[in-house]
Structure formats: C-alpha cells, structure tokens
Structure 1
Amino acid sequence: AELPGPSGFEGATRYGTPEDTVGAIPCGDDIDTFMEAVRPYVEAGFTEIALVQVGGDQQLPFIAWAEKTLLSALREL
C-alpha cells in the first residue's frame, strides 16, 4: 500500500528495529542468503524479481557486486 507521505512512513515504521529488517530481507554480501530469499518466488513461477539496494552510498557498490556474483547465481535457480 502507498503511504501518504513521510508522516505515514514514520507511523508505519515506528516499532520496527534494524534487527527486524535484517530478519525480514536479505542483507549483506552472502549469496546464499539472497538465493534462499529468492528461491520461493522462482518456485512459485515468478519470472522477474526486483532487487533494491537501500542507502545512497551503497547503490553503486551493490550493483557492481550483483553484476559480478549475485545475478549469475540467481539465474541458475
């Protein structure tokens, strides 16, 4: 669902912690973590999956890492 603005986002995330985020989405550079997160979607028949790096200073390093290692591994699923 779309949040109406920053105040809506603040309300929606008020009780979340960094630990909640790490437990809910793949973080870091462990390929197996990403593979296990994506696998159920591949098995369900999804043909396209979007990977999004959050954090402006990590965008380019994430894209370079994904191109070098992650994407080829995901294509094998």
Structure 2
Amino acid sequence: MNADLPGTDAFDGATQFVRQEDVAASIPCGKDVNDFVAAVRPYADAGFDEIALVQVGGGHQKPFLRWAQETLLPALRESL
C-alpha cells in the first residue's frame, strides 16, 4: 500500500488506526525461528527461489543480521 500513497501525510492517515499488535499478528516477529520458517514455506512451495527478509524497527539491524546468519538462514536451508 505504501507505494500507492503520494507521501508521508497520506501514509500517516492510512495507518492511523493500525496498532503495533496488528502488524505483529500479520508478520513473524520475535526470535522463534519456526514462525519465520512457516511464513516463508508457502512462498518456497510456490516456487519462489529468492525471498527478501527485512528487519523492521530502528536500532535492531545488527542483532537481526547476526541472528539471521547464525539461526534463521540455517533453519531455512535445512527445512526448505
């Protein structure tokens, strides 16, 4: 939806009623690797061979990248 909005004011208006828990319910959050594997599986099963995994939230990029390298990516390779 973000790409369809003309600017940040429109985005703010469109998302004013979205709560943090709404977002957390729609994407995998936290460190449970099985949640991420389950979220990626339908795309892998559909034939996608490139999937972008994006860390959302400021200040957590380095810990996410370390966790992804050490835990998430090996789990994805093993289970998919």
TM-score of the superposed pair, with normalisation by structure 1? 0.92
RMSD: 1.1
What whole-Å deviation, never above 9, does each CA across 1:2-37 have from its counterpart, x for those lacking one? 122211211221121111111100000000100111
Percent identical residues: 58
- Paired residue type of 2:19: T
What whole-Å deviation, never above 9, does each CA across 1:22-56 have from its counterpart, x for those lacking one? 11000000001001110100011110111111122
Aligned residues: 77
Question: Which of the numbers 39, 42, 51 marks the counterpart of 1:40?
Answer: 42
Q: 2: CA distance between counterparts of 1:25 and 1:66? A: 16
Structure 1 unaligned regions, length at least 5: none
Tell which deviates more after alignment, 47-56 or 61-70: 47-56
Find the counterpart in structure 2 of residue 14 from structure 1: 16
Structure 2 unaligned regions, length at least 5: none
Q: 1: CA distance between counterparts of 2:77 and 2:13? A: 37
- Paired residue type of 1:30: D
Find the counterpart in structure 2 of residue 27 from structure 1: 29
TM-score of the superposed pair, with normalisation by structure 2? 0.89
Question: Which of the numbers 47, 58, 61 marks the counterpart of 2:60?
Answer: 58
